[in-house]
Amino acid sequence: MLETATGLKTSAMMMKGRKNYLCLHRYHQFFAQDSLLENRGKLLKKRLQAWINETRFGDRAELPWLADDTSLWDDLSCSSDQCLGTTCLYFEDCFHNKLRREAARAKIIIVNHHLFFADLKIKRTGFGEVIPRFQVAVFDEAHNVEEIATDYLGESISTNQFSEFAGDLEKEMKSIPRGERAPFEAGLAALKTQVEHLKLRFDSGEDRGRMDALVLQELRERPGNEIKTLLTALAKDLDESSFKELQPYAMRARELNQQFAMILEPGDPDWLTWYERRKTGLTIHTSPLDISEKLKNLLYEQVETVVFTSATLSTNNTFEYAKGRLGLDETIECIYPSHFDFRSRVFLYIPGDLPLPSAPHFPAAIAKRILAILKRTKGRALVLFTSYHNLNIVHTIIKDKIPYVLHRQGDAPRSLLLDAFRENIHSVLLATGSFWQGVDVPGEALSCVIVDKLPFDSPGDPLVAARIDSIKSRGAFRKYP
């Protein structure tokens, strides 16, 4: 499209986060396990190996049989923490490295906001980069930039990182004689116990909350001190180990230690330390309340042009609020009216009789209403949820009650679900998270969009509340229309 519109010859590459690509080191490590040498393991390996021989970049989206939420992919892909870098045996053939080499030759690189800011964070340290250098950055859906940039310009540590570290080291230890493993096993067992103590500390109460100086001090003492001592000892033992394959884990232990200690340090008043509890574990974040200066230094001063575009970036016909939050001083601005004829083409229905979203019977009540709507629209609907919890309850209730194909996020990779939804006009897709934006389904297949509740952050959310306090304390609220 771009070539047709501009008449220029160009080349484009799409890059996704590292976890989307198969890691050859982890693939070989995974299939070295004795338990996978029997039939099912052999079949799986054969299937994957046939794909590996042909795939260009090892992108998991090429595997339609792999469910979105499968734990298998976690074992086959790696995060930046887990990557062995130049010490990896497969460094030359590594899919992720191959992708980066090709991206360096492309004129346009397409990435999501998460990868963009993860890269900015790496470039800030001066130790490497993920996305090759660029001169122009264009942000679509730019109303999300503040939220995502805050995640990456802050720091966070999750109990999963400790579990992954322990799990990876345990796997690696299988290659050394049993008798040599004892000191590491004892250290890891003690570390896991302390991480459990940390989780238990936030086991009840709100899922997300602020952490004040008192809580931080308490955590630094216990289990902070114990975790610090254990990781220091493990790093030393791993460093001194005669088994070369264990040595990269010394670096990981040290990095975890530093990250954990830094997050528990008493906070800067312009930052917020807060926790988030999920089914998968506990994450502690420390986030800047205002990223405007950071964006100026790290982004605007480094590239020639930055374009922000979104259907919801202006407030009351001005960009003042967005400009203030994003630190934009010199701008060229335009607001274009929508090309949709909302008055004649859209029917809006807001039920006034449903229970509040916090009520326990809310999911069952909306399931009933969704069924009634689907009957009228003859399927052809995208149903968007703000939580997997509601999505799954509604799916269970309606799955045998509609005569249309019902797709659910997680049952197949996103692109395949969307293709199937586009192709079967009467099908229905239940989704959450990434489906709220950037979905393009032209034509009749998407005749109706149902949302379970508007996805606005609650003003009680720790980060939102702290930002509001910070803006108020500077008297800046009056500035915004």
Report the residue from 48, 83, 298, 417 that binds ligand SF4 according to the rule CB under 6 A. 83
Using alpha carbons, list the distances in angstroms from residue 466 to 288, 460, 470, 475.
10, 9, 6, 14
C-beta neighbour count of 178 within 10 angstroms = 9
CA dihedral over 421, 425, 430, 432, signed as positive or negative: positive
CB 137 within 8 A of CB 105: no
Among 84, 188, 198, 374, binds ligand SF4 (CB under 6 A): 84
- Does 25 bind ligand SF4 (CB under 6 A)? Our answer is yes
Sign of the Cα torsion 31, 37, 38, 44 reads positive
- Quote the CA–CA distance of 108 and 431 in Å, as a whole number: 30
How far apart, in whole angstroms, are the C-alpha atoms of residue 86 and residue 397?
51
Residues 258-297 that bind ligand SF4 (CB under 6 A): none
Q: Which of 15, 16, 20, 24 binds ligand SF4 (CB under 6 A)?
A: 24
With CB under 6 A as the rule, give the number of residues binding ligand SF4. Answer: 11
Please, which residue, 90 or 404, has the CB nearer to ligand SF4?
Answer: 90
Taking the complex as a whole, the smallest distance from the CB of residue 321 to ligand SF4 amounts, in Å, to 40
Report, in Å, the least distance between residue 171 CB and ligand SF4. 13
Contacts of 440 (CB under 8 A, 6+ apart): none
Please pick, from the candidates 23, 149, 191, 272, the single residue that binds ligand SF4 as defined by CB under 6 A: 23
Residue (22 or 111) nearer to ligand SF4, CB: 22
Q: Which is nearer to ligand SF4, 91 or 480 (CB)?
A: 91
For residue 303, how many C-alpha atoms fall within 13 Å in the half-sphere facing its CB?
Answer: 15
**Beta carbon nearer to ligand SF4, 95 or 152:** 95
State the Cα–Cα distance between residues 263 and 283, nearest whole angstrom.
11
Residue 56 CB, shortest distance to ligand SF4, in Å, is: 15
Half-sphere exposure of 44 (CA within 13 A, CB side): 17
Catalogue the long-range contacts made by 234-239 (C-beta closer than 8 Å, 24 or more residues apart).
234/184, 234/187, 234/188, 234/191, 237/183, 237/184, 237/187, 238/184
Burial letters 79-91, b for 16+ CB under 10 A, else e: eeebbbeeebeee
Stretch that binds ligand SF4, among 76-84, 101-109, 121-129, 316-324 (CB under 6 A): 76-84
**Stretch touching ligand SF4 by CB under 6 A, among 20-28, 55-63, 225-233, 253-261:** 20-28
Sites for ligand SF4 among residues 85-124 (CB under 6 A):
88, 90-91, 94, 96
**Residue closer to ligand SF4, measured from CB, 248 or 267:** 248
Residues 163-202 that bind ligand SF4 (CB under 6 A): none
For the bound state, the minimum distance from the C-beta of residue 343 to ligand SF4, rounded and expressed in Å, comes to 52
Tell whether the torsion through CA atoms of 84, 90, 93 and 95 is positive or negative: negative
Which of 13, 15, 48, 78 is close enough to bind ligand SF4 by CB under 6 A?
Answer: 78
Binding site for ligand SF4 (CB under 6 A): 23-25, 78, 83-84, 88, 90-91, 94, 96
